[in-house]
Amino acid sequence: MFESIHILSNACYNLLEKCVNGITANKEVCEGYVYNSIGIVTYLNPFIGHHNGDIVGKICAETGKSVREVVLGARPVNGSRAGRYFLRTELDAPGL
């Protein structure tokens, strides 16, 4: 058992040193992944309703547009607040 723990700790150390240290995130690419994912429509369900969320998701799948483009273009939510839903501070705020 101690040998297994030793092997595992060495593997974790090597992973950290050779793979993890020095990694930085590309902010623009990460934001693109978020905003171009149809899955983000589930975040909007409390604001636009499940039915409208289904419609937005279907439009995105059919047209290739992002959820943001569809929501801001179709305005199934209050237009003055719609843009705010896609701010990074709103997306990662707990307890919406």
Instruction: Dump pLDDT digits (tens) for 35-80.
Output: 888 988 888 888 888 998 999 999 999 999 988 888 888 654 555 5
Q: Which CATH architecture has domain 24-91?
A: Orthogonal Bundle (1.10)
Amino acid at 46: P
b/e 57-79 (16+ beta carbons within 10 angstroms → b): bebbeeeeebbbebbeeeebbee
Instruction: Dump pLDDT digits (tens) for 18-31.
Output: 999 999 999 899 88
pLDDT of residue 58: 93
pLDDT of residue 12: 96
pLDDT of residue 95: 54
Give the start-to-end residue ranges of the domains of the chain.
Answer: 24-91
3-state secondary structure of 63: helix
Q: Please give the model's pTM, rounded to 2 decimal places.
A: 0.60
Q: Which of 88, 87, 85, 1 is nearest to 43 (CA)?
A: 85
